[in-house]
Structure 1
Amino acid sequence: MDGPLGEEPGFRGYAVPLLLARWSPLQSAAVLGALVSLWHLPLVLFGQLSLIGIPTTFAITFLYVWVFNRTGGSVLLALLFHNSQGTFTVGSYGFSGVDAGRAELLYFGFVVLAVLATVLVDRDGWRSALASAVDAAELPSESNRLHR
């Protein structure tokens, strides 16, 4: 729970609504995917994440944004999805060495296929955000701002 609990309130709870207020869910996921990938780069540098984990992180961010958007802005469901994804790792299945590398590559392929399938099956969900997902940001309007 350490990763999801630390990341989801900020990435999905704060950043996604702000991004959705400006861009489509697909564009928002691409922007956030790049930021989240940079966020995870130190894990690669310190050996806690393999190099293939960076593009996998970028790709799976699309699924997290889709879950957040399609549940009307539920950080809880995004957190549970993230936790389930992080619980079952290559190492938890006993893969090591070259086998672990192959399994991680297969996992990356699976995530990319899941993203592509989600984009193809739910095209409308990628074009516009649900109002409740955007409203989570509670952006101040021009009339509500204090003028000096």
Structure 2
Amino acid sequence: MNSEKKLKKPIASFILLTNLIFLPLFCLIGIISMLGLPAWVIDVMFCLSAWSSTFAFAVLFKKIYPGQSFIQFVKDKFNNKLIFSVILTAIMIQASIFLMILFLVSKNSEINVIFTISSWGMLVYFFFKNLLSGPLGEELGWRGFAQMELQKKHSPLKASIIIGFWWGMWHLPIWFTTGLVGIDLIKYILFFMIAIMSTKIVMTAFYNLNQNLIVPIIIHQFFNFFIGLINGNLLDLIMYNAILYLVVAVLLIVINPKNVLYGKEEINVIHGEIDCH
């Protein structure tokens, strides 16, 4: 019999420890930047800081799930067969948002170069840097654990709003590196929170449809990747993303009013097929 005591507030403990790990790593990035070290060193540190939620979850795992294997838990999150239609729909939605933002920026901006990337080599590097410094490091803790754990007590939508808020607040130190001040900074924070909470709702809907962590990883990756490709005003970019992802989130809620984002209890994924009760 396992005598190890189980954490009474696992999600709160996870959020707290995630921030305690992230803050010193983020401060270290600032120190490295001031010392004028190579850009790749800063990129590596960004990647490490993005994994703070995974580090926190790994540290707390035995107290959250006594007697269980962390490695097996991770494997189980990728165990379900991927449903092509779910992934394709999510990517098409995000690609459509990207194209709409691209159109808005090109129409309303006076800049000559619309993309931030000028070569295929840079594009590949940017893609994998984003993958390592965000989706791969964040999704196990925030989605694989916190979202699923909260869904045991609340609807997927309510759980998404709660986790989305705290996930957004975890980014707080980054807000003050944008160079924005005053009302522009307030607008940025507002739009950022709307964008990230709306994206969280989108992630939840598609994750609950497939129950494989690759799904939110893909959505997270393309959110970061697409916004980083466009050479536009930062405030405008986050505003466009906030509005468009909010529209998608509301539509997903409207078409799934009874189950409120395809709750785990209402969906059975069997051999790649979805059985909705």
- Relative to the length of structure 2, the TM-score reads 0.42
- Displacement after TM superposition at 1:46 (Å): 2.5
Query: Is residue 2:244 matched to residue 1:110?
Result: yes
Extract unaligned runs of 5+ from structure 2: 1-130, 181-187, 268-277
Q: Which has the larger radius of gyration?
A: 2
- Displacement after TM superposition at 1:65 (Å): 1.4
Distance 1:10 1:63, change over 3 A: same
**Partner amino acid for 1:15?**
A
Equivalent position of 1:123 in the other structure: 257
**Partner amino acid for 2:201?**
F
Figure out how many residues of one structure are paired with residues of the other and give that number. 128
Query: Runs of at least 4 residues of structure 1 off by over 4 A?
Result: none
Give the counterpart of 2:217 among 73, 79, 88: 79
**Partner amino acid for 1:120?**
V
Output the aligned Cα RMSD. 2.3
Give the counterpart of 2:150 among 8, 12, 19: 19
**Partner amino acid for 1:63?**
V
Extract unaligned runs of 5+ from structure 1: 134-148
RCO comparison, higher one (Cα < 8 Å, 6+): 1
Q: 2:195·2:242 contact (CA, 8 Å) conserved in 1?
A: yes
**Partner amino acid for 1:16?**
Q
Query: Is residue 2:101 matched to residue 1:101?
Result: no
Identity %: 19
Give the counterpart of 1:64 among 180, 203, 207: 203
Distance 1:5 1:48, change over 3 A: farther
Equivalent position of 2:10 in the other structure: none
